[in-house]
């Protein structure tokens, strides 16, 4: 590889359009770029490595604000030439991904126990929507939204038309709440609950993570388990790339010495 690379060389190396490389450079996602007297950009191996890092962070379903911000911090440190800091941040990023995975798996474990008949609440009498919201630590609007989206059907008092939440409904709501707190989308939960309500108490994990052929996938949370698995693989690739960059920089320093 020659000392200098063209925009097209970088684009070809990572499989993007040359305009994408230019946009990344203009956005500050690559180190400053020298130009020839004719105005053409002159990239180096360092720019290519940074571009590979950017693609690892950005070329994936949006993983949520915390993981996204963590990835951006790694890019910024790398672009600034602070490779040691970037590597440390990359290991911290891996910890965050694993924490998200653990929370997602815990929610599935609770779901599967509940689906097998384990009750998750011992409320002795029916509660109103306001009482239920306070018990679960959510708003009344959230409970109404879950009902509107088909996640739960709540019986009503025939005397006054008010909703009545029994222990069975509250158990279901606890599952829904934990799944939402763990990152699953309303669509994924509805997909799983539909299967459960049809009498299927197995395959719920797969239902949470597998959009139907006729279903539009809008967010990473529609297939959250797979998204987190992909993020863990990307976190490992980020660490490997940064370690390679550090080794390469040390090798160049030794040659120059």
Q: Is the pLDDT of residue 124 over 60?
A: yes
Q: What is the 3-state secondary structure (H, E, C) of 15-53?
A: CCCHHHHHHHHHCCCCCCCEECCCCCEEECHHHHHHHHH
Average pLDDT, the chain: 93
pLDDT in tens, 4-58: 999 999 999 999 999 999 999 999 999 999 999 998 899 999 999 999 999 999 9
Segment 152-169 shows an average pLDDT of 92
The helix/strand/coil state of 235 is: helix
Residues 6+ apart with CB under 8 A from 237: 56
Q: Is 39 exposed, middle or buried (0-12, 13-18, 19+ CB in 10 A)?
A: exposed
pLDDT at residue 237 tops 70 = yes
The predicted structure's pLDDT at residue 257: 59
pTM, two decimal places: 0.89
For 52-90, the pLDDT digits (tens) are: 999 999 988 888 899 999 999 999 999 999 999 999 999
pLDDT attached to residue 168: 94
Higher local confidence (pLDDT), 228 or 63: 228
Q: Say if residue 177's pLDDT is above 60.
A: yes
Rounded to whole angstroms, what are the CA distances from 101 to 70, 167, 227, 229? 16, 29, 10, 8
Tokens of residue 234, six digits: 């990307």
For residue range 92-106, what is the model confidence (pLDDT) as tens digits? 999 999 999 999 999
| CB contact burial 207-217 (16+ within 10 A = b; e otherwise) | bbbbbeeeeee
Q: Does domain 7-100+225-256 match CATH 1.10.3720.10?
A: no
The domain 104-224 is placed in CATH, from the list 1.10.1660.10, 3.40.50.280, 2.30.42.10, 3.30.1450.10, at 1.10.1660.10
> Which residues pair with residue 42 across a beta bridge?
34
Q: 41 pairs with which residues across the strands?
A: 35
Outline which parts of the chain fall under CATH 1.10.1660.10: 7-100+225-256, 104-224
Q: Two tokens at 217? A: 């996938």
Q: What pLDDT score does 1 carry?
A: 44
Listed in sequence order, the residues at least 6 apart from 104 whose beta carbon sits closer than 8 Å to its beta carbon are: 182, 183, 184, 224, 225, 228
């Amino acid at each position: 590889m020659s000392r200098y690379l063209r925009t097209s060389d970088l684009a070809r190396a990572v499989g993007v359009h040359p305009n994408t490389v230019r946009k990344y450079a203009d956005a500050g996602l690559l180190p400053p770029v020298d130009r020839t007297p004719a105005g053409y950009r002159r990239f180096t191996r360092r720019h290519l490595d940074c571009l590979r890092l950017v693609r690892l962070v950005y070329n994936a379903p949006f993983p949520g604000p915390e993981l996204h911000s963590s990835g951006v911090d790694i890019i910024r440190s790398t672009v600034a030439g602070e490779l040691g800091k970037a590597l440390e941040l990359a290991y911290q990023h891996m910890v965050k991904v694993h924490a998200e995975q653990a929370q997602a798996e815990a929610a599935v474990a609770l779901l599967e126990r509940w689906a097998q008949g384990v009750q998750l609440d011992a409320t002795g009498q029916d509660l109103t929507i306001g009482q239920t919201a306070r018990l679960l630590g959510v708003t009344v609007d959230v409970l109404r939204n879950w009902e509107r989206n088909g996640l739960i059907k709540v019986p009503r008092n025939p005397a006054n038309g008010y909703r009545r939440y029994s222990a069975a409904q509250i158990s279901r709501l606890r599952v829904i709440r934990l799944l939402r707190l763990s990152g699953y989308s309303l669509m994924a939960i509805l997909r799983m609950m539909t299967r459960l309500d049809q009498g299927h108490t197995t395959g719920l994990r797969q239902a949470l993570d597998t959009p139907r052929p006729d279903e539009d996938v809008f967010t990473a949370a529609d297939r959250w388990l797979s998204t987190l698995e992909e993020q863990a693989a990307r976190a490992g690739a980020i660490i490997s790339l940064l370690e390679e960059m550090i080794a390469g920089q040390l090798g160049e320093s030794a040659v120059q010495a």
